[in-house]
Structure 1
Amino acid sequence: MNRRTMPVTAALAATAALLLTACGSGDDGESKDNDKIAGADQGADNPKKSAEPSATPAEDQPDGVDLTLPKDINLVFDWKKPNDKDEAAALDDARHFVQSIYRGVAEQKANDPAVAAYAMDKGLSYARTQVQGRIDAGLTSTGTRRHFQEKVRKSPNGNAVEVSFCVDSSKFYSKEVKSKKVRKGAPGAASYDFFKIIMSKFPGDDDLWRASVVYVTEKAGQCA
């Protein structure tokens, strides 16, 4: 048995009732050619080494959840594992959360099980909205998306970890599902975003964390 298979299974059951009818916010990000997860301030209810692009087969199904991505979607995480056990687990699942969104995009399914496995509440709504927006626009993703300058901070009660990081999408593009046409644009300030994700501990399992709130700053100067 994987160390967290049963809790994740329970998480899927618990979040099934939260399936939202996600509405896309338009195609502004994709129309600029670089494919980014659009910025959204979701509000605040609660304050491994670097991974290889497109995780190895063993990492594609953590906790029994399928996070497999097409070969042309490379998610690079230039992150170092924290010494603190909770912070390390939360950072790892923040990576899984990002992967789950692009798994949904690749599969063209806003309700893909992977999306629900590592998200809850506003984090789940955010993830499904991003996936549905691309589906509505007839787009998927391709290229390399780099995540770097990670920082983690645990709440005093230990039930939440704030994970922040920069994203470079200068080599990550939208691809039309039907025509397979790749929309490329010149790199610039719009290629960089700053993410802050509140990872909340899953009840009954110290190792499973799910994204509950997502903040994004677009055109993030501190990341360029």
Structure 2
Amino acid sequence: MKRRTLPVAAALAATATLLLTACGGGDDNSKSNEKIAGADSDGTKTSASPSASDAAADIDRPAITFPSGFEMAFDITKPSDAKEAAALGDAENFVRAINYGIIRQDPEDAAYKFYSTAGDTAQAYAKKQIKQYVDGGWTVTGVQRYSQGKVDLAADGKRASVSFCDDDSKFYGKEVKSKKILKTSPSNKDYYYFEIVMTASQEVKGLWTAEGIEVQTEATQCKA
């Protein structure tokens, strides 16, 4: 039994709307956004990146630890821009928190709530993922490998679209009571493509929380 990915058509629509709103819409704005993502165009705020990095480092984050039989490997290059790096890092923390909730068998676990926006699609998605495992009597084992990370920062610098691939070919469900590992034969169903809308927290400086999420199943573009 692999992850039972839920339908997320509504999340896809929300993702597109949020980014278009934040960027102002249109190709011209997208090109302008690429410049803003790397550095301030007028060169007057060169201290923004270091301060953002320091703020992220000072956050009192929930501890997330996994048992020896489970690993999440992120082969993703960290962006040089501090805001992009923070958005990517907390998108990774959000998916870590989902697995942490599964391992703890707690659909109300605090970790995924810390890394997601209350009342939005991403938090609802996380809770449903965890609840499905708990209701089925399953936990997780094996290795998930994440790669091909990309961050598109909105023009206002307050939202970002974070995407990455997930290879679950060595990731399995495991029955909690019997400890039986539910292995499956390799297939295109092992590959997922995540797109997560991250927003800068207004309460915790340097923290980014997941707002919307879209997960493409059988994402063959993610095969190595």
Band the TM-score falls in, shorter-chain normalisation: 0.7 to 0.9
Distance (whole Å) between structure 2 residues aligned to residue 40 and residue 187 of structure 1: 24
Distance (whole Å) between structure 2 residues aligned to residue 35 and residue 122 of structure 1: 18
Q: Is the 8 A contact 2:153 2:160 kept in 1?
A: yes
Question: Could you say what secondary structure the match of 1:132 adopts?
Answer: helix
Structure 1 residue aligned with 2:97: 100
2:213 alignment partner AA: V
Distance (whole Å) between structure 2 residues aligned to residue 46 and residue 106 of structure 1: 31
Distance (whole Å) between structure 1 residues aligned to residue 74 and residue 61 of structure 2: 21
Q: Is the 8 A contact 1:105 1:140 kept in 2?
A: yes
Structure 2 residue aligned with 1:199: 198
**What is the count of residue pairs matched by the alignment?**
178
- 1:140-195 CA-to-partner distances (Å, cap 9, x unmatched) read 00000000001100011111010001110000000001111001011110000111
Q: Does 1:124 align with 2:119?
A: no
What pairs with 1:163-174 in structure 2 (closer than 5 Å)? 163-174=162-173
Q: Identity of paired residues, percent?
A: 38
Question: Could you say what secondary structure the match of 2:189 adopts?
Answer: helix
2:8 alignment partner AA: A
Two-structure CA RMSD over aligned residues (Å):
1.5
Q: Is the 8 A contact 1:65 1:114 kept in 2?
A: yes
- 1:109-161 CA-to-partner distances (Å, cap 9, x unmatched) read 01111010001121111100100011111110000000000110001111101
85, 88, 105: which one pairs with 2:85?
88
Structure 2 residue aligned with 1:133: 132
Question: Could you say what secondary structure the match of 2:116 adopts?
Answer: coil
Question: Could you say what secondary structure the match of 1:93 adopts?
Answer: helix
Distance (whole Å) between structure 1 residues aligned to residue 161 and residue 205 of structure 2: 16
Q: Does 1:215 align with 2:183?
A: no
Q: Does 1:71 align with 2:68?
A: yes
Question: Could you say what secondary structure the match of 1:64 adopts?
Answer: coil
1:85 alignment partner AA: A
Deviation at 1:94? 0.7
Deviation at 1:64? 3.3
- 1:7-66 CA-to-partner distances (Å, cap 9, x unmatched) read xxxxxxxxxxxxxxxxxxxxxxx3xxx34654523231511xxxxxxxxxxxxxx73302
- Choose 197-206 or 175-184, whichever is displaced more: 197-206
Question: Could you say what secondary structure the match of 2:148 adopts?
Answer: strand
Structure 2 residue aligned with 1:7: none
Using the size of structure 2 for normalisation, the TM-score is 0.76
Larger fraction in helix: 2
Structure 2 residue aligned with 1:55: none
Using the size of structure 1 for normalisation, the TM-score is 0.76
Structure 2 residue aligned with 1:27: none
1:222 alignment partner AA: Q
In the alignment, structure 1 segments of 5+ residues that lack a partner are 1-29, 48-61
Distance (whole Å) between structure 2 residues aligned to residue 153 and residue 46 of structure 1: 12
Distance (whole Å) between structure 1 residues aligned to residue 132 and residue 112 of structure 2: 14
Structure 2 residue aligned with 1:20: none
